[in-house]
Amino acid sequence: LNVIDMLLIQLKDNDWSSHFQKCSIKDCVDSALQEYCFRSNERELITVLGVKDFIIIGNKNLVVHIIFNLLRNALTVIRTENKGTITIWTTERDHELCLHFSDNAKGISDLDLPYI
């Protein structure tokens, strides 16, 4: 449903700013974790550490889709490597609020790192 909603937004018009609104980052994370189609035992690989809520200006469906992509990519590597976990948390520093998503399965090669 998330993908369908995004496609409908794209077909509707090219004025993306009209689709941006205030949304809760915690709500986006919670929705992604509730709606993602986990394979057996995959949800147990994810730890959410104190996601402090903050408001962003964006599109909830798109943010949830980004989290879906991060989950899919990390879980694919975890399955391939047969090891790893995912951690999601937030930080605040110098009035900067950040959502962090990390996995410890394989890592990014040193050659690819500058492009990310």
Q: Note the pLDDT tens digit of each residue in 22-62.
A: 999 999 999 999 999 999 999 999 999 988 999 999 889 88
**Nearest CA among 57, 61, 76, 6 for reference residue 31:** 61
Percent of the chain with pLDDT over 70: 84
Asked whether 24 and 55 are in contact (CB, 8 A), the reply is: yes
Asked whether 99 and 90 are in contact (CB, 8 A), the reply is: yes
> pLDDT at position 50, please?
84
102: pLDDT confidence band, cut at 50, 70 and 90?
very high
Asked whether 88 and 45 are in contact (CB, 8 A), the reply is: no
